[in-house]
Amino acid sequence: MVLVVDNYGSAANITAAMIRSLGSGAVVLSCSTDPRDVNIRDYSAVILTAGPGNLLYDALGSSLANQHGRIPLLGVCQGMEMIVRQHGGSVVNTGHVLSEDTLSHTGEGLFRGIGQRFRVALRRNHTIDKKNLPQVFETEAYSSDGAVQCLSIASERVYGTGFDPSNYRTEHGIKIFYNFLNLF
């Protein structure tokens, strides 16, 4: 059973539906859920979905963003920012822009079996501060302007994407979720 954390974005339900269509169970919990009410052992993986960047309601997300390898974790957009922050990194505000871009990536991990330079939808009100990115992270993908769009901590089974695989304008979203579920 995959736990999908809804960060008041436009992605939790569609992400859960995509996960279920891959044969896994998925349950959606609001990020305002009290972390003490969630037993992480009940789940096989956690996905922190995209949402507003104000982090007003991220009690559950923040508590799950550093699991020290106990459970596979995928952070999407704000979810990735939570993971980076929890590991000592920071993000910078870039203004609020909705755009599309193409990614350059490693071809491994989340991108196994996906060709280079595929289209993704970006909502870039924040981006990862590369100068302050902890060494524990490996960068897996960049957008055309050099911004980090995917990173990982393989030893902790952690991935983060700056684009949303569930977005309608993102190509190969279902394949990226498939790869995540089958990485570990």
Partner 1 sequence: MDYTDIRSGKYTRVPMYRELRINSFDFMSLVKAMDLKGYCIFLESAGKTRDKGRFSFLCFNPVEIVSEENGNVRVTKNCNSGVQKCSIFEYIDAKLSEHVSPVSGEFGDFNGGYAGYSGSLSAGTLPVDKVSAEFLLIDEFVVFDNHTGKYHVCSVVYPDPADIESAIKKGETRLAELEHFILDMIADERIHFLPSKADDVIVEPAVSDEIFMQYTAMTRDKLAAQGIPLASVSRELHAHGRFSAFSFYMKLRGLSPSPYMYYMHLPHCRIAGSSPETHLKIKNGSMMMKPASGFTAAPQSRQGRSAARRELLRSDTDRGVHSVLVDLARDSLAASALDGTVTVKKFMDIEEYQNRLRIVTRINAILRPGTGIAKALSETLQACSITGMVTGEADSNEKLQVAGRSVAGYFGYNRSCDICVMTGCAVFDAAKAVIQGYALIHASVVADDVLLSAKVSAYPAVTCLGYALRG
Q: Return the range that interacts with partner 1 (CB under 8 A); candidates 37-45, 60-68, 132-140, 165-173.
A: 165-173
Binding residue for partner 1 (CB under 8 A) from 2, 3, 5, 12? Answer: 12
Which residue, 23 or 135, is less far from partner 1 as judged by CB? 23
Provide φ and ψ at 153, rounded to 5°: -125, 90
- Contact flag: residue 144 with partner 1 (CB under 8 A): no
Binding residue for partner 1 (CB under 8 A) from 2, 45, 48, 53? Answer: 53
* C-alpha 7 chain-centroid distance: 12
- Contact flag: residue 121 with partner 1 (CB under 8 A): yes
Q: Which long-range contacts (CB under 8 A, 24 or more apart) does 150-153 make?
A: 150/103, 150/105, 150/110, 150/111, 151/80, 151/84, 152/109, 152/110, 153/87
For partner 1, how many residues bind (rule: CB under 8 A)?
A: 31
What's the CA dihedral at 148, 26, 115, 117 to 10 degrees? -40
- Contact flag: residue 105 with partner 1 (CB under 8 A): no
Q: Return the range that interacts with partner 1 (CB under 8 A); candidates 6-14, 111-119, 132-140, 141-149.
A: 6-14
- Contact flag: residue 98 with partner 1 (CB under 8 A): yes
Residue 153, beta-bridge partner list: 158
Q: Strand pairing of 91-93 and 126-128?
A: antiparallel
Q: Which residues bind partner 1 (CB under 8 A)?
A: 8-14, 16-18, 20-21, 51-54, 56-57, 78, 95-98, 121, 123, 125-126, 166-169
